[in-house]
Structure 1
Amino acid sequence: MAHFSDAPPEKYRALVTHFPNGVLVLFDSELRYEIVGPETLPFSKRDASKMVGKTIYDLFPEETATQLEPKLRATLTGELCSFDMEYEEQVHHIETRPVRIQGDTYGALVTQEVTEERQTARELEQQNQRLDKFARIVSHDLLNPLNVAQGRLELAQEECDTEHHNAIATALDRIQRIVEDVLWLAREGQDIGSVEPVALGKAIESAWRMVSGQADNAELRYVGDESQLPTVKADYDRLCQLLENLFKNAVEHGGDDVTITVGALADGFSIGDDGPGIPDEEREDVFDPGYSTVEDGTGLGLSIVKQVVEAHDWEIQVTESSAGGARFEFTGLDVVAK
């Protein structure tokens, strides 16, 4: 289907002259530039008036003009075109559409310099490819021998009893936690799945069940009761991942008898504990990968928490709880119901 815009030539001339970002061109059936603007082109600093009346083969190297020609001719037949081109070591994004002026068909062309944006996109794609490769290597080259070691340990425990087995099991468990955390960071990054209404209390109870079995004397409390927690829009799985890592962090630093307190905020929630707390000067560092104050910590749990927060466009702040421990405040959540 052909797409044509009808407008008097003076309107196009006024638009070209004052075009705010990029270059706007009106070309005819011979691919001749009839109007060019603004007066000085922002990318090349060329004088627009010296380009008027010339064809693309007059203005550009033959290779560039040959690339442009089929797109411009398709525009004159009614097509809308959108494409990138490299010219003079810059990447330009070009959009074209046909227009009809006083019964004659012309093409309108808009081009913007997008070199930096495309370079950023390429670097991000390369980074993602490296992360995918890294995840595959970690998954295969570490998890497989780890599984073998755990299996051999189980056989050794059946054959004899020694205090060394517990130390080996603890070390292997820590390796597995590190591998799982690294894989999560590499594969998931800042991506989240579908966002839907989530009862915060339900997610907290689910996450707590995953952690409480490792600390029989730890206690979860609510300010008020669970029903006072809001329903928020979130990726349920990622939210549970956040909560599990916070609870694990509290147990690791506060001990098996730590008390964790959850409360509602105006646009979010808070989680505090009665552990040793986090000094003021270290509160900006706790989300860095590798940060940990306990010997067997992976140093990745709070980094995952920060990733989940940023993926949802929430905010997180570290303060001191009323019991002198650590308190994490999550705000900026989309609260559906209280």
Structure 2
Amino acid sequence: MKVPLGITTLHLSQRNALLLLLAVGLLGFGGYDYVQQSQAVDNAVPVQATITDSSVDRMDGGRGIDYEPEIRYTYQYQGETYTSEQVFPSTGVRTYSDRSRAESVVESYEPGTTARAYVSPADPDDAFLIRERTPWPLQAIAVGGFLSVIGVLSGLGAKNPGQQELRPASEVQPAPRETWVDSHGETIHRLSKQGLSVCFVGFWLSLVALVFGLLNTTGGFEGPPQDIQAAFLGPVGLPMLAGFSFWVGMILSVCLYGVWSFTKYRQLRQRLSAPKPPSPFRHPSRVVTILGTDDGDLSEYGQRVRLTGWAWMIAVGMTGALAYLLYTAG
């Protein structure tokens, strides 16, 4: 599929078209929900509501266990009586991974008490209790923006990058100066693979130990959920510390592999015939296209670019996941 885009043309495969369609959907829904929340927060008027029921609902999903604050209340607006269960001014449901955070929301809304609710004059049957925006719209916009950038860069890239054939190594003069990574390349490669294997196994073993520690602390699966005060070196704190350490070890191992792989890429690039194509790592559209190409459609040079790019992408993604986890835990 070819899409004219100003002075250039966007070449979209079926995969890129689906990616851009998903990105547009996230951007549209996130933007719509953000506008809706903003209008609700800015235009809503306060009314008195009577709480009829409040609880924390446990939701078991593919990502784990989440907790949703559920509050049911009645209110009157312009002589009419309404019932609502909406807590925040959002079309989506806001959940928490920590039960105590969901409980902190409902603890101020005991059944039988009165509280302040907010009503939009244009939609009086859709009130809410807490006058603040949820983070979901901005998260959807951020993800949609990232996916759209990837899709556009892939469509703008060269049609067949990473397919350049290499000259025999005997025809290439060695580099005038050998770096430390060049001289110790095999050692770095071996250590990165061994470190990644050990940390990967250690991380999952630490998760198993964490599950057993939680079961021993809480007395098993039976009984109501409860807060856990984990000692730093206790049956819960120690596996968490080990899991954190092994996760950091995996990041370092992937980075080490990325350094070795980039060195191999530079060596292979010397074997390209003139005129050499632009370096993919200086042209994001090229490297994105290569990342989405199957190994069977790439030359040895393209496969090395693909492995190097994915190594750094994985390292960045793992680092971002760790930073997000530390941020939410704090």
Which of the five TM-score ranges fits, normalised by the shorter chain? under 0.3
**More strand per residue:** 1
**More helix per residue:** 2
Structure-1-length-normalised TM-score:
0.27
Greater relative CO (CA pairs within 8 A, separation 6+): 2
Structure ID, larger Rg? 1
